[in-house]
């Protein structure tokens, strides 16, 4: 039967392993649930769905006189002889424990939401064919706020969305509750996501009107039993647009009162409202600097009102200064470090993983480790804004891990971003969602793996990208062990392939301006210099790359000395960051044995070869998959290969106009597309995608 993959990783395929199947039958024949609320109702329903899939039978709840089964209950409800095993162990109400007591498997937690997470964990392990015998797992989230940021607009469109329209139909809310809202909450809860920002950071004040707040309330009611809070983006100028005030100055008493009234109105309808994300004084968005106030002034005005209600403010650090000549890499650091310690305790400064803008690879943002008195929130992309969008297979768990494992040296060696976040009293990770109204949710089927990985790595930043990929594959496809092994390998290499053919050796921001899709390294027509790719690669007849050392913009000085030591010398820097920090001669001999020009060409070609290998590997399993699934991925991989060649040919031919050097022999020249690009005169801008 064809699979449209609407069920995501919650397929609950039939269990074929006899030992595991018999164990499920034995334990699902008697499930005792000791609590009773709306979340418990979800747990019971999920167990029935899973049992029907795994073993084709209904579960039996509270069977009398049965010694073997599954016991689910909060710690305070368990018999004393069982509860004592975990006395004092839990530090989070979301954590859970799964263990075997005699012939019974126990799932326990401090809250019913913790029980829900534990239930999903048990079902996930069954789906991945792990035995129930001897099961033992104690798990608590290392990050408190694990939040999806939807860049969804009220008109149904999605900014940077590549999988259809928004799943939130504001026109039919609050009266029509689409099943998709429930399935969305279910999917998020299954991977530990506990918050969702419903609206675009480029915000619309209309969402704060009474009519729309009733729509938000309807969604909050759906999400609440799944442990998910709703958040909204707050437009800083809302007091002017909605309140008819003459100012939005955060220190103005009337403005403060307007926000107090509005926030009270929200909490009257949604008592567990999570708070606001704010994009201010960036890309034309209004903010406190419009009134000669600081980011701290703006954030604290909202935070002070939210604090007694346990709401938070996520104040984004993605800002551009007004100075055209400043390296954008330095701008957020320069604006925010001077405000360290000035934010109220329920404010998190939300920082992208890198200082430019969701590049396929970036060195970690220098703000991490530079604001010890201020909670920082990591912002990651799930949507593949500069990573080929929905035509590209790019598994992002290795990128998330690369960021989380980056050592800032803020408190000595081992001060990774993951540890710094965890050690904050208030902490969070936000992911810009790739979810849309396409039947498979993410456009590209493998985009689901990034949603899945974000949840897993936000819960536990030490989680292995390989283990996440292996689990996702087993939950998503019913296939052979060889399929799982081979496709796992191409997933783990896929993001690196995109880096090679689009941003090799630390080149960055070479994508099409505006649409952020496809190569346009020649573009220099936008009014802001730092919106143009030519600003970032700085190619000339001698060199290429952005000098961020002392002799250049000196952005490198924003990092700790130990990090500077790693990156300040072009002879010893990791090649993946070479052209990010250095302006390097075309003929420089690198440690690969190739010159810079030849290495650049090699990277572009290697990325194309990687995608070709992905196609070959996928096609081996044509007979194991239903044809719609096989064809969906196969066609997109072929598109990806064409686009990799497009990147390679247009980029190398453009950069050759500066280097004046011949192509190395290994660079494939047989493609007709190469002849096409040779016929062009640069600068040339292909049509937008």
Alpha carbons 588 and 184: distance in angstroms, whole number:
52
**CA–CA distance, 461 with 463 (Å, rounded to integer):** 5
> Which of 633, 601, 636 has its CA nearest to residue 620?
633
Candidates 94, 385, 402, 520; catalytic one: 385
Query: Which candidate in 159, 178, 340, 357 is catalytic?
Result: 357
357 is catalytic: yes
Q: Which tokens sit at 30?
A: 């008697």
Distance separating alpha carbons of residues 388 and 398, to the nearest angstrom: 17
CB proximity list for 419: less than 8 A, separation 6 or greater: none
* Active-site residue flag, 283: yes
Helix (H, G, I), strand (E, B) or coil at 235: coil
For the record, the structure tokens of 233 come out as 């983006």
DSSP three-state, residue 331: helix
Question: What is the Cβ-side half-sphere exposure of residue 450, based on CA atoms within 13 angstroms?
Answer: 31
Q: Is the dihedral of CA 20, 21, 23, 27 positive or negative?
A: positive
Please identify which residue in the block is written with the tokens 């960021």. Answer: 403
Is residue 385 annotated as part of the catalytic site, yes or no?
Answer: yes
d(C-alpha 61, C-alpha 117), whole Å? 19
Q: Select which of 76, 268, 283, 571 is catalytic.
A: 283
What length does the chain have? Answer: 689
Rounded to whole angstroms, the maximal C-alpha distance in the chain is 84
Which residues have a Cβ under 8 Å from the Cβ of 66 and sit 6 or more positions away?
Answer: 29, 30
| H helix intervals, 405-480 | 417-423, 447-459, 465-476
Sheet containing strand 31-33, strands side by side: 31-33, 69-74, 104-109, 96-101, 136-139
Q: Under a CB-based contact definition with an 8 Å cutoff, are residues 199 and 154 in contact?
A: yes
> How many H helices and E strands in the chain?
21, 15
Q: What whole-number distance in Å separates Cα of residue 32 and Cα of residue 449?
A: 33
Two structure tokens written together for 286: 């209004």
- CA-CA distances (angstroms) from residue 648 to 377, 642, 669, 684? 36, 10, 11, 15
User: What is the DSSP secondary structure assignment for residue 426, as one 8-state letter?
Assistant: S
CA trace torsion 262, 265, 269, 271 (10° rounding):
80
DSSP notation for 136-149: EEEE--SSSEEEEE
- Report CA torsion sign: 39, 41, 42, 43: positive
Residues ≥6 apart with Cβ < 8 Å to 302: 234, 259, 263, 276, 278, 313
Between CA 299 and CA 277 the distance in angstroms is 10
Taking the alpha carbons at both ends of the chain, their separation in whole angstroms is 33
Q: What are the catalytic residues?
A: 283, 357, 385
């Amino acid at each position: 039967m064809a699979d449209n993959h609407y069920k995501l990783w919650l397929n609950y395929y039939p269990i074929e392993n006899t030992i595991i199947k018999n164990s499920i039958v034995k334990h699902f024949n008697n499930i005792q649930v000791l609590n009773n609320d709306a979340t418990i109702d979800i747990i019971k329903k999920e167990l029935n769905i899973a049992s029907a899939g795994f073993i084709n039978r209904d579960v039996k709840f509270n069977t009398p006189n049965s010694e073997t089964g599954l016991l689910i209950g909060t710690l305070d409800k368990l018999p004393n002889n069982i509860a004592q095993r975990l006395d004092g162990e839990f530090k989070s109400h979301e954590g859970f424990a799964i263990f075997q007591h005699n012939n019974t498997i126990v799932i326990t937690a401090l809250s019913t939401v913790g029980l829900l997470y534990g239930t999903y964990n048990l079902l996930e392990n069954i789906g991945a064919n792990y035995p129930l015998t001897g099961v033992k797992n104690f798990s608590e989230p290392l990050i408190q706020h694990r939040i999806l940021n939807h860049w969804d607009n009220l008109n149904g469109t999605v900014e940077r969305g590549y999988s259809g329209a928004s799943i939130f139909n504001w026109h039919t809310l609050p009266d029509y509750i689409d099943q998709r809202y429930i399935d969305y909450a279910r999917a998020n809860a299954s991977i530990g996501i506990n918050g969702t920002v419903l609206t675009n950071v480029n915000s619309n004040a209309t969402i704060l009107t009474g009519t729309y707040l009733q729509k938000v309330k309807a969604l909050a009611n759906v999400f609440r039993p799944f442990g998910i809070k709703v958040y909204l983006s707050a437009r800083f100028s809302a007091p002017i647009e909605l309140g008819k005030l003459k100012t939005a100055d955060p220190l103005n008493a009337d403005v403060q009162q307007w926000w107090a009234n509005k926030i009270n109105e929200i909490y009257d309808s949604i008592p567990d409202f999570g708070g606001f994300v704010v994009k201010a004084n960036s890309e034309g968005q209004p903010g406190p600097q419009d009134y000669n106030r600081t980011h701290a002034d703006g954030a604290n005005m909202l935070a002070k009102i939210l604090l007694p209600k346990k709401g938070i403010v996520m104040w984004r650090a993605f800002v551009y200064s007004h100075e055209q000549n400043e390296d954008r890499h330095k701008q957020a650091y320069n604006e925010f470090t001077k405000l360290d310690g000035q934010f109220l305790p329920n404010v998190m400064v939300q920082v992208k993983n890198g200082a430019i803008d969701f590049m396929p690879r970036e060195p970690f943002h220098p703000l991490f480790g530079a604001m010890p008195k201020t909670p920082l929130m990591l912002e990651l992309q799930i949507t593949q804004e500069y990573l080929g969008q929905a035509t590209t297979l790019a598994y992002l768990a290795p990128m998330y891990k690369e960021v989380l494992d980056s050592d800032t040296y803020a408190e000595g060696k081992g001060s990774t971003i993951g540890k710094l976040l965890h050690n904050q009293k208030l902490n969070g990770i936000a992911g810009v969602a790739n979810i849309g109204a396409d039947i498979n949710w993410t456009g590209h089927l493998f985009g689901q793996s990034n949603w899945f990985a974000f949840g897993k790595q936000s819960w536990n930043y030490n989680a292995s990208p390989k283990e996440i990929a292996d689990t996702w594959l087993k939950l998503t496809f019913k296939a052979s062990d060889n399929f799982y092994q081979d496709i796992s390998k191409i997933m783990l290499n896929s993001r690196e392939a995109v880096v090679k053919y689009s941003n090799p050796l630390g080149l960055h921001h070479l994508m099409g301006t505006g649409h952020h899709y496809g190569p346009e390294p020649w573009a220099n027509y936008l009014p802001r210099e730092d919106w143009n790719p030519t600003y970032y690669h700085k190619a000339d007849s001698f060199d290429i790359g952005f000098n961020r050392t002392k002799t250049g913009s000196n952005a490198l000085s924003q990092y700790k000395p130990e990090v500077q030591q790693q990156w300040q010398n072009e002879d010893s820097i990791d090649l993946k960051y070479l052209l990010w920090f250095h302006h390097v001669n075309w003929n420089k001999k690198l440690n690969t044995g190739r010159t810079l020009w030849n290495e650049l060409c090699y990277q572009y070609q290697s990325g194309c070869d990687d995608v070709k290998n992905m196609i070959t590997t996928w096609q081996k399993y044509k007979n194991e998959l239903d044809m719609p699934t096989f064809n969906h991925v196969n066609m997109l991989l072929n598109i990806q290969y064409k686009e990799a060649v497009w990147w390679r040919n247009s980029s190398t031919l453009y950069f050759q106009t500066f280097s004046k050097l011949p192509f190395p022999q290994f660079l494939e020249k047989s493609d007709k597309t190469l002849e096409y690009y040779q016929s062009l005169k640069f600068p040339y801008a292909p049509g937008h995608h």
